[in-house]
Amino acid sequence: MRHYNITVEGKVQGVWFRRSAAQEAAKLGIHGFVQNRHNGTVYIEAEGSREQLTELLKWCEHGPSQAEVLRVITDVGPIKNYGNFRVMKSE
């Protein structure tokens, strides 16, 4: 089990990125949350196996069809044992 903090930059708000990320996480069996940030980025905390998280990161590089992802920044963090994956309100 690993924990990634993921920040996605670009045109990623107002394009269904959060909802699409939650669907992708559910499909992959990943737990955590996704949230819009005031600076225009999308922030994700994700927990799963290395393989699951690698697949989520690949998805984040393009996101939903209307997104224009410029950069994906990933940091490893401590496990928080999320029980599911949620879409959070904007920060």
Domain boundaries, the chain: 2-87
Please say if the pLDDT value at position 38 is more than 90. yes
pLDDT of residue 91: 82
What values do phi and psi take at 81, rounded to 5? Answer: 55, 50
> What kind of fold does domain 2-87 have according to CATH?
Alpha-Beta Plaits (3.30.70)
Q: 85: pLDDT confidence band, cut at 50, 70 and 90?
A: very high
pLDDT of residue 4: 98
**Catalytic residue list contains 36:** yes
Residue of 18, 19, 37, 81 with catalytic role: 18
- Whole-prediction pTM: 0.96
List of E strands, 1-91: 2-11, 31-36, 42-48, 68-76, 85-87
pLDDT of residue 62: 97
Residue of 36, 39, 71, 81 with catalytic role: 36
